[in-house]
Each structure stands twice: as C-alpha cells, then as structure tokens.
Copies of this chain bind each other. A is one copy, B any other.
C-alpha cells in the first residue's frame, strides 16, 4: 500500500501534465504553445513541468507516444481475432475512428508529430525520438495495411495503390480530429453516429461491397 501509493500518485501527476499538454498543443499548436500555457492550465508553474520533463519537445513526444499507445490498445485486440478480412476491417476502422474522437487532443499531437518529422526542423536528438515514434506509427498502419490487402486479395475490396488507399482511409477516419468539437453534455450516441458515417465512407472508398459495409 505504502509502496503502490507513490507509484499511483506519480502516474496521475504525469497524466495530468500529459492531458493538459495535449489540450494546449491541440488548441494552439506546438510552436505557439508555451510551457507557461500548459502550467497555467494545470494551475501550476513551469517548475512543475520541468521537474518531470527535460524539455518542451520531450513533453510533446510523450503525448505523442501516449496517443499511439492508446490506439494500439484499442485496435490490436481486434486485429488478432479470427475473422474474415471485411468484418475485421469494419471493426478496426470503427474503433479507430471512435478512438480519434475520444482521445482527440492526443491524436492531434500525433498528427503534428508526424508533420514535425516531415518538416525536419528538429535537433538530431529530437529527430531520433521522432523516428522511433514514426516507426511506432508505421507499425500501427501496418496492421491496417495487412487487412486491406487481404481484403483486396479475396476480392472484397478494390483499389490501385495500397499506400494511397491506406492514406485515404486514415484521412477519412481521422477526419473528425479537424472538425469535431467536444461538447459538455455530448451524447455517446452522437459520437457513435459520426464514427459510423466516417467508417461507412472509408469502407465504400476502399471498394467494399454493400453488405460488407453495412453490417455493424
């Protein structure tokens, strides 16, 4: 008890910081967000953040990592099920989309992290971390790639380039990141409806036939 209490406390402190940071980075973007902004949202000062993170970039990267981890936790179990590709893909895409909505601030940071690497305006050390995170993201995408290629092989999906199809699929499913806004009393059914529409759109885009798209 006395041993687990500190561990729990540390974890919640870290998660508080991560949550506040994710929200700030989403609201203003990485560059325009100051550490003081994050601290203010926590009702604290810089000292608190710099006690737990060595730099602004480190904090951002940890948000990125945390966001990706949540995605893995959501989708990986489904990918490991023994299902026909069309059905598996449907569940994976729907859950991915729901995760985007539910953990929006973190996923916006993942998005910006990907952009950050492509822009390349980083120190060598930062670049190393970003490359590792990018690999994490690539592994995540690979789970989907495998399934859509299986679906294509079995003739239940049709598209030209797997890479482009994958990009388009993620753009559709990630779409709510850029226009959805969380409301205080937001009904879970509304979120589900949004995710459903994005999923249907994505699966149709990938060329799945009507019945494969339709079944929940």
Instruction: Enumerate chain A interface residues (CB-CB to B < 8 A).
Output: 27-29, 31-32, 115, 119, 121, 159-161, 164-165, 167-168, 171-172, 174-175, 178-179, 193-194, 197-198, 201-202, 204-207
**Chain A interface secondary structure, helix, strand, loop or mixed?**
helix
List B contacts of A198 (CB < 8 A): 164, 168
Set B27, B31, B167, B205: member contacting A29, Cβ < 8 A: B31
Q: Given A29-B29, A29-B31, is A175 in contact with B179 using a C-beta cutoff of 8 Å? A: no
List B contacts of A167 (CB < 8 A): 175, 178-179
Set B121, B161, B172, B194: member contacting A171, Cβ < 8 A: B172
Q: Given A172-B171, A202-B205, is A159 in contact with B29 using a C-beta cutoff of 8 Å? A: no
A200 to chain B, nearest CB (A): 8
List B contacts of A178 (CB < 8 A): 115, 167, 171
Q: Do A28 and B119 have beta carbons less than 8 Å apart?
A: yes
Set B165, B197, B202, B207: member contacting A160, Cβ < 8 A: B197
Number of copies: 2
Q: List 15 A-B contacts (CB under 8 A).
A: A28-B121, A29-B29, A31-B31, A32-B121, A159-B201, A160-B197, A165-B197, A165-B201, A168-B198, A168-B201, A171-B174, A171-B175, A172-B172, A204-B204, A204-B207
Q: For the complex, what is the distance from the CA of A172 to the CA of B31, rounded to whole Å?
A: 27
Q: Do A164 and B197 have beta carbons less than 8 Å apart?
A: yes
The residue on B at minimum CB distance from A196 is: B160
A195 to chain B, nearest CB (A): 11
Most buried by B among A115, A167, A194: A167
Q: For the complex, what is the distance from the CA of A194 to the CA of B164, rounded to whole Å?
A: 8
Q: For the complex, what is the distance from the CA of A175 to the CA of B165, rounded to whole Å?
A: 11
Q: For the complex, what is the distance from the CA of A29 to the CA of B175, rounded to whole Å?
A: 20
